[in-house]
Amino acid sequence: MRRQARKAFDESRIPNDLCPIATELTVLRTGDWRAERPVVDRDKCVKCATCWTYCPTQCIVEKETWFEAGLEICKGCGICAQECPHHAITMIEEVEE
Amino acid sequence: MSKTLVCDGNEAAAWGVALARPDMVAVYPITPQSSLAEYISQFVADGIIKADLMDVEGEHSVLSVLQGACLAGARTFTATCGQGLAFMFEPYYRTPPLRLPIVMSIVTRDGITPQSVWGGQQDAMTVREAGWIHMYCENAQEVLDTVVMAYKIAEHRDVMIPVNVNHDGNYLSYGVEKLELPDQEEVDAFLGRKDTNWHAALDPERPMAVDPLTGGAGGAGPALFVRYRKGLCKGMQNALKVIPEVHEEWAKRFGRSYAPLVEEYRLEDADYAVVTIGGMTGAGKDAVDLAREAGQRVGLIKVKTFRPFPLEALRKSLSKVRAVGVVDRSVSFGWNSGPVYQELLSALYGLSQRIPAISFIGGLAGADITIEHFSRVIETTAKAFKGEVAEGPIWLNE
């Protein structure tokens, strides 16, 4: 494969109805879909990163001594709670505030 | 200097690919496309095509690989048909809205059930609404020339839509003809600079998601979705202008001209006409010549470009006659007719005068559509012109 010549990519000159691309995640907040939220028991979490590995939206963020879901993106699928080997994650129903 | 070749339609397509100088080709063999995949592989092995050849595990991967290659700036090619096209459907449907100018031959095949490895246009016709440009060729020379032209059409900045160049399995894929191989330098000048990813270049220094999830019931998603849908429709309509321009430039440079959208044959003083698509057209023209010798005022309308649908061009041709017989080489199950017939009715709607149209279906599963078959089509259409309209569909190979 020949190497592509480096060229300036000037987005302002590209029609905005061509190939759908996203350079930042602003289109969709999958967190809006959530019916249940994952809540982490920080005493049980050992930072094994199993939740981080399995999360289909890749929304798990690392904290000092635990992992937790980024709630803007977390769609509440519950896979992290299912997979957590230390049963540190509980799915709690979302209720209107 | 151009060279003279004696070859079949599959080799003609491969020569067209070679002249377009692709960067990446991916192929998976399936009858009657297999020899085209073999010619491509041989050309790569012989250094005639200087491209990366991807041998992948199936057609789904073929097109997925080419999508990535195209986003990285490559000119690409593949070919398939029948079950291969069916297996390719998911990336097939995705390619046009990504606006990737990939060129792919469909060596049309009938089936899938009852099982058939022989010619028919059911495969290409089934995917006519997936957003690709569809052009049907009449002979091997047109296959070669159209494959090259397809790159110029697909990569045109007002179009940016993948193109299927379709030729009939068995009849065009294996039928040997004498044809002219255009000069490489002339083709280079014709095609110009290659630029397949100006709109969405994959670049590690500019991370992005291609085809992000778009839609939903609220927010900007649904409106954004509509914008891309309208964009593809607009590109298709632009293609109706670009396809004739590219054909005209080809004729100027190489001296061979083809009707880009719809061809009229002996139509000027015709009372009625037969409508054809693809390789059957040769027999249709011969039958028209015979009928003309016998004093019948009959002409022929050939559809070359089926997507975008050449509404205005077809309407203009139809306005010259008072009855038509439409021969399809595939079946629209839901309409109990052929797809070309079904869509031609939409073109008739815009005419001030209502004219009878009859659906004929022939050439399924490798059956020959002979001059005799076309003579029958002409006779039946002549009767419709005189007011005796037969009920369709009429199956020619029963």
Residue B23's closest chain A neighbor by CA?
A1
Q: In sequence order, what are the residues at sequence separation of 6 or more whose Cβ sits closer than 8 angstroms to the Cβ of residue A10?
A: none
- Single out the residue of B367, B370, B11, B369 nearest to residue B177, CA to CA: B11
Q: B164 and B106 in contact (C-beta within 8 Å)?
A: yes
| Torsions phi, psi for B179 (to 5 deg) | -145, 170
Residues of A in contact with B221 (CB under 8 A): 27-28
Determine the pLDDT at residue A47.
Answer: 96
Q: Check if A28 contacts B (Cβ < 8 Å).
A: yes
Tokens of B86: 């069916």
User: Which chain A residue's Cα is nearest to B207?
Assistant: A23
Reported pTM: 0.89
pLDDT of residue B213: 80
- Select from A95, A89, A97, A94 the least CA-distant residue to A39: A89
A20 to B234: CB separation less than 8 angstroms, yes or no: no
- Spatial CB neighbours of B385, under 8 Å, sequence gap ≥ 6: B271, B272, B322, B323, B356
Q: Which of B23, B203, B214 sits opposite A9 (nearest CB)?
A: B203
Distance from the B168 Cα atom to the nearest Cα atom in chain A, whole angstroms? 32
Of B72, B208, B231, the CB nearest to A22: B208
Kindly tell me the sign of the dihedral angle through the C-alpha atoms of B135, B137, B140, B142: negative
Q: Please list every residue in chain A whose beta carbon sits closer than 8 Å to the beta carbon of residue B227.
A: 16-17
Question: pLDDT by residue for chain B (398 residues), tens digit each?
Answer: 689 999 999 999 999 999 999 999 999 999 999 999 999 999 999 999 999 999 899 999 999 999 999 999 999 999 999 999 999 999 999 999 999 999 999 999 998 889 999 999 999 999 999 999 999 999 999 999 999 999 999 999 999 999 999 999 999 999 999 999 999 999 999 999 998 998 888 888 888 888 888 877 767 788 889 999 999 999 999 999 999 999 999 999 999 999 999 999 999 999 999 999 999 999 999 999 999 999 999 999 999 999 999 999 999 999 999 999 999 999 999 999 999 999 999 999 989 889 999 999 999 999 999 999 999 999 999 999 999 999 999 999 99
Q: Which residues of A touch B230 (CB under 8 A)?
A: 17
A19–B208 CB contact, under 8 Å: no
Residue written as tokens 């987005």? A11
Confidence (pLDDT) at B216? 75
Length of chain B: 398
Instruction: Please tell me which residue of chain B has the smallest CA distance to A1.
Output: B52
A20 and B CB contact within 8 Å: yes
Helices (H), chain B: 9-19, 34-45, 59-71, 82-87, 89-94, 122-126, 140-154, 171-174, 184-191, 221-254, 281-293, 311-318, 339-349, 371-385
Alpha carbon of A5: minimum distance to chain B alpha carbons (Å): 9
Contact at CB, A18 and B99, closer than 8 angstroms = yes
Q: How many angstroms separate the Cα of B105 from the Cα of each of A42, A61, A71, B319?
A: 58, 47, 47, 32
Domains in chain B and their CATH numbers? 3-198+239-254 (3.40.50.970), 262-395 (3.40.50.920)
Q: Are B158 and B242 in contact (CB under 8 A)?
A: yes
Residue A11: pLDDT above 80? no
| Domains recognised in chain A with CATH numbers | 38-97 (3.30.70.20)
Kindly state whether A19 is in contact with chain B, defined as any CB-CB distance less than 8 angstroms: yes
CA dist., res. B238 & res. B235, Å (int): 5
The dihedral region occupied by B363, where left means phi > 0, alpha psi between -120 and 50, and beta the remainder, is left
pLDDT at A4 > cutoff 60: no
Higher-scoring residue by pLDDT: A19, B135: B135
Least Cα separation, residue A83 to chain B (angstroms): 26
Interface with A, mutate which of B66, B75, B228 (most A CBs under 10 A): B228
Check if A23 contacts B (Cβ < 8 Å).
yes
Chain B residues with CB under 8 Å of a chain A CB are 23-24, 52, 69, 72-74, 97-100, 160, 198-201, 203, 206-214, 216, 218-221, 224, 227-228, 230-231, 234
Contact B220 A15 (CB under 8 A): no
**Angstrom distance (rounded) from CA B88 to CA A73:** 32
CB contact under 8 A, A28 and B214: yes
Q: What is the pLDDT of residue A26?
A: 58
Q: Which pair of tokens denotes residue B76?
A: 């690409």
Cα B241 to chain centroid distance, Å, stands at 16
The torsion defined by the Cα of B181, B186, B192 and B196, in degrees rounded to 10, comes to 10
Per-residue pLDDT tens over the stretch A28-86: 678 988 999 999 999 999 999 999 999 999 999 999 999 999 999 999 999 999 999 99
> In angstroms, what separates the C-alpha of B104 from chain A's closest C-alpha?
19
pLDDT exceeds 90 at position A13: no
Q: Contact B201/A17, CB-based, under 8 Å? A: no
